[in-house]
Amino acid sequence: MEPLMARPRKFSLHSEISLPSPNLPYQVSPTAAADTEAPSERNVEEIHFSVLHDLLQQRYHLHQSFFGKLPARHCAFLAVAFLGIFFLLSSMLSSSTLQLKSLPYYTLGDHEADDFTLGGLLSEESDRTQCYSRGLIHRLRVASPHVPSPYLVKALRDYEALHQRCGPGTEAFNKSALDLELALTGQGKQEIDGDCRYIVWTANSGLGNRIISIAASFVYALLTRRVLVLDGSSDMSQLLCEPFPGEISWILSPDFPPLSTLLLNQCSPHRFGLHLQQGTILSSRRDPPEIDQKTLFPSTLTSQPSSIFSYVYLLHDYDFFDKLFFCDEEQSSLQAIPWIILSTNMYFVPNLYLYLPQFREELNRLFPESDTIFHHISRYLFFPTNAVWSWMMRHYDAYLRKSSRILGVQIRSFEYPPVMHPELTDQILRCALENHLLPRISKVEGREHLSTGNSTAVLVTSLLPDYSEQIKEFYAEHSTETGEAVSVHQPSHEVHQNTKAHGHNVKAWGEMCLLSFSDNLVTSPMSTFGYVAQGLAGIRPWILVAQSSDTDSHFFQASSSESASPACSQVLSMDPCFHAPPYYNCAESRGDDTSTVLPCVRHCEDVSWGLKVFSQASLI
């Protein structure tokens, strides 16, 4: 078996990434990283004296060429001076995270080779002093072949200017927020004043759902020229860096009036779907298909729609009238409303293509590669804060940095409490071995080849520790055919998901980012955790084959037999799946399978009833 090769990264995994400041003009020298072993602590002293010797020798020859041979006392004076300067610099370097042992791995200058903007996706003005990961995290990921379109780059710069003009704390925001507060109490006028419009994202469900729904909300904000602001009562500000350059945050105050005073659920009298159901927004009212009539929310509440705000409910249990948000006529009725308060836990981008032609045309301009939407948006918006970055780097430096390749394995159990299934370990190993993601084990004692020096680190994320222990035991008991070393690591095993616990969320977000450093991913079906990792990584994962659509049962293929059906399959699109799309044809006002409307929007590989965006190239 040939040694498994890793896809190229922006920089070598053996490079020192903990720079004291993202403004230092350092970049990794790939040649040096490839040819040089990481120096041991013992060799650091040798480097000190080697550098000192070279400095003194160069200074001596320079002086001799101009002034002749130096007197002995001058040589002694210069030696003492250089020793003082050298040890002063050495002390300064040692006090930071950039050590002298890193010198072989860096060359000075050439900022273009270290493009933290990701081809213009990020602004050159993006802050890297308060958010270290923004200037460094791209070095640890596989280099993305997907370049943002010039149209997207311009749209992002335009959005950043809009956010600085209209975002929280600005004069325009304060005036509009006051109008909203007065409208909520019935004391204000119901007239639109100002040209700043907003979409307020509210936190729902687990962290993976939150991240994909923020991304979808931002896409909607780009399409509608709105400013995206986040619910300040969640802990997202402690997990995510501020994404936009400038002083204006995207986080609302925790006591922002609508979020602290309004009833924001399916029973809200301000719900957009309720107003559509009661016929108070449009002159005509659509009748729900028979299958949707059974799931309508009670409509006994009465309220008149406001011209200042609307509450849009797009959680997974939304009803027929809420789903009309994705129809052209109903969507147009929201255009002039300054404030949209949005509750969602889903990646609803696929439905922005179907029956909203103005959105579809804009999406095609923004994302010519249609399956890169979440990839670009996630790399633009989501950077771990310094606290999360520190947690990540401790695990990366200890367990992943020296490996030749990283295989990420993400295991999601939908059972409560989580239950360990030994046959799932067999399925994971079969998936990895059949698709050459891990080296095959030798069937004979001993080895006929010396080690190649390559190593694979398996990064496992799961609520339970059992799976990583079993994979570790498997490779501890068997040699690989090539002698390649395989190590297995799991940063945490929380047992239970606890989204309300900040410490739990730090680990969850850190693990998603660590998974994004992988060369290959094996993920669980229907897992938003895995969706985030694959989007940040920019790779198409291998998804474990589901046994059934019943998420309350054992969700995975159980057989480890060589003759059984495949253990996993590689997805065609790395964009997330929309788990609960409407089955409604807006153009013909009838129930329909919306996976047949456009070639680029089809059913998901892991969720048969879901919808997903595909690129045309992937479908050929």
pLDDT in tens, 471-506: 999 999 988 988 899 999 999 877 667 777 899 999
- Whether residues 442 and 578 share a domain: the answer is yes
Q: What are phi and psi of 273, to 5 degrees?
A: -65, -35
Q: Provide the pLDDT confidence category of residue 81 given band limits of 50, 70 and 90.
A: low
Q: What is the dihedral of CA 119, 123, 126, 131, to 10 degrees?
A: -30
- Whether residues 462 and 556 share a domain: the answer is yes
**375 against 56, higher pLDDT:** 375
- In terms of residue numbers, what domain contains 84? 26-108
Cβ atoms of 96 and 89 closer than 8 Å: no
- Whether residues 226 and 95 share a domain: the answer is no
pLDDT at 481: 87
- Whether residues 584 and 534 share a domain: the answer is yes
The residue out of 359, 381, 403 marking a domain boundary is: 381
pLDDT tens per residue across span 265-307: 998 999 999 999 999 998 788 999 988 988 888 777 777 888 9
Cis peptide before 20 (omega within 30 of 0): no
pLDDT at 40: 43
- Whether residues 377 and 452 share a domain: the answer is no
Beta-carbon contacts of 449 under 8 Å, excluding residues fewer than 6 positions away, are 481, 482, 483
Look at residue 11 and tell me whether its pLDDT is greater than 70: no
Q: Provide the pLDDT confidence category of residue 466 given band limits of 50, 70 and 90.
A: very high
Task: Give the span between the Cα atoms of 271 and 264, in whole angstroms.
Answer: 8
What's the structural domain count of the chain? 3
- Whether residues 156 and 102 share a domain: the answer is no
Q: Does 320 map to a domain? A: yes
pLDDT at 613: 98
Cβ atoms of 313 and 345 closer than 8 Å: no
pLDDT at 493: 79
70-84, 107-121, 180-194, 298-312: least confidently modelled range: 70-84
**320 against 551, higher pLDDT:** 320
Q: Provide the pLDDT confidence category of residue 620 given band limits of 50, 70 and 90.
A: low
pLDDT at 3: 43
Helix boundaries (H) for 382-450: 386-395, 422-434
Mean pLDDT of 81-109: 39
Q: Does 123 map to a domain? A: no
- Whether residues 585 and 572 share a domain: the answer is yes
pLDDT at 1: 42
pLDDT at 283: 79
Q: Does 245 map to a domain? A: yes
Average pLDDT for the chain: 82
- Whether residues 424 and 467 share a domain: the answer is yes
pLDDT tens per residue across span 499-540: 778 999 999 999 999 999 999 999 999 999 999 999 999 999
The residue out of 330, 363, 381 marking a domain boundary is: 381
- Whether residues 348 and 466 share a domain: the answer is no
Q: Does 127 map to a domain? A: no
Mean pLDDT of 17-27: 36
Task: Give the span between the Cα atoms of 343 and 204, in whole angstroms.
Answer: 7
Strands 542-544 and 568-570, bridge-based pairing: antiparallel
Q: Does 5 map to a domain? A: no
CATH assignment of the domain containing 475: 3.40.50.11350
pLDDT tens per residue across span 186-243: 776 666 667 899 999 999 999 999 999 999 999 999 999 999 999 998 899 999 999 9
- Whether residues 410 and 341 share a domain: the answer is no
pTM for this structure? 0.82
Q: Does 129 map to a domain? A: no
- Whether residues 406 and 544 share a domain: the answer is yes
pLDDT at 555: 42
pLDDT tens per residue across span 379-390: 999 999 999 999
pLDDT at 259: 86
Assign residue 109 a region: left if phi > 0, alpha if psi is -120 to 50, beta otherwise? left
Longest CA span, the chain: 102
Mean pLDDT of 309-335: 97
Task: Give the span between the Cα atoms of 234 and 532, in whole angstroms.
Answer: 19
Which helix (H) or strand (E) is 292 found in, with range?
helix 290-293
The residue out of 336, 363, 381 marking a domain boundary is: 381
Q: Does 126 map to a domain? A: no
Which helix (H) or strand (E) is 520 found in, with range?
strand 520-523
- Whether residues 86 and 235 share a domain: the answer is no
pLDDT at 61: 53
Q: Does 541 map to a domain? A: yes
